[in-house]
Structure 1
């Protein structure tokens, strides 16, 4: 069982939307604690939530999603998607992304689930002296703004960095958010220095257990990691996730022109129960 905040992070769906799905009876919590009113969700609800998100992104209303969930079958959904596919093909170029989602959905209907392809290894990460910049940015795809600002500030202050720069981002929010995300970008430095109004020099604490995996391809693939991690947690019940997530972009827009060749490392802090 997962608390609503944990379920939000693992499925990459905001708490606000999970509460909305509860209110509209699309996805009710498995259990609500009578004393604290905390909502709890189960692993079995992830495929249902994925169906809701697929249909929502295709423009289905709440009422239409309810009907689809009640009559979920290969023939019924395939016919519904074919109708939507025809509609999208007649629309403007701005509708092309919706068409891709329909095609992906149709390809996965017979499996009735999204493939899980990520393996996790547990690492111990040492402490690092870093120079960092922390901001609340519009969304997760705006992280590049922070890296650009950090690079410009380093250039202006003429800070001496190591020959091989080690960079990573820390996500300080404890839940998935659709906007206004709290992100800190960090570069490992040779030693601790004095900060400024914009830049911070600090020691990143060591982490005893960090679940790590590699994500290949565009950044949109990252959400699948957290769904995969939900399955990993159920099979490794002596661990639970804590703390803040980190992300290391080994290959990205600055050194790779094809998003299919991006390489991103996701790190999720663990605690042994």
Structure 2
């Protein structure tokens, strides 16, 4: 049997952590001297402690470690490690997004906060004959998959579609998840709807506010702020539903993100000024 100091030395785990694992029930001493109160550990407990330390080092918290230790077998441990791996990958993506935002903020500061000016104009958008696919997707990054599916659908059925394509965001509010998106391609073809795919005429929009966004897609948020400022100055208009997006230059035809060109459109209506 080893005293706690000896066990700490042999396992390279601090006395503080050994006491903590005792308190939370992860690793109780093999014995506690009834006269001195000293914690005593056995050599058989070293592999158990090694498992605890391993799980801690790969990101498991105390409650998760307790579950894994209580059900330890190869299949269960493998499943838990795969799940933890997915969690870590998700966290890495979120941290990368935060880093990107920090870099953008630093760039703004380094440029003495020079602001891009977005010119807002009003368009009368007619109805278009389109083939489209509409679906609620996990987030905006899933839009690329919709375009792939629409392209495959058109190719399989030998549809004649133009390069005039656009996305319609049907949500009237900004949503980070479960986004209602429809991607559309103008076509002269008419057919029967199949599943998520539809042949339809889009709704005309007599008052569509439009602005061009140059550069990376992260600039789009600033364009919406420009719309907010524009609406505050033109109070004869108010928002009327969803928005559209047309990517004139994007990853498929432009390697440099700084040269992307995206048109943002927001449907408006004339405000009732009589009251």
Q: Structure 2 length as normaliser, TM-score?
A: 0.59
Bigger RCO (CA 8 Å, 6+ sep): 1
Matched, 1:202 2:235: no
Give 2:47's aligned residue: none
Give 1:223's aligned residue: 221
Matched, 1:252 2:246: no
**Runs of 5+ unmatched residues, structure 1:** 1-91
1:159-210: CA deviation from partner (whole Å, max 9, x where unpaired): 233xx42100000111111111010000111153322224200011211010
Alpha-carbon RMSD: 2.7
Cα 1:144–1:108 change in 2 (3 A) is: closer
Q: Structure 1 length as normaliser, TM-score?
A: 0.59
Deviation at 1:101, TM superposition (A): 3.8
Cα 1:142–1:204 change in 2 (3 A) is: same
Structure of greater Rg: 2
> Larger deviation: 127-136 or 186-195?
186-195
For 1:107 and 1:218, the matched residues in 2 are separated by 13
Deviation at 1:114, TM superposition (A): 8.2
Q: Which residues in structure 2 correspond to 1:159-238 (within 5 Å)?
A: 159-161=159-161, 164-238=162-236
Matched, 1:125 2:125: yes
* 8 Å CA contact 1:132, 1:150 repeated in 2: yes
Query: Which 4+ runs in 1 deviate beyond 3 A?
Result: 92-116
For 2:236 and 2:93, the matched residues in 1 are separated by 49
Q: What number of residue pairs does the alignment pair up?
A: 180
Cα 1:153–1:97 change in 2 (3 A) is: closer
**Runs of 5+ unmatched residues, structure 2:** 1-91
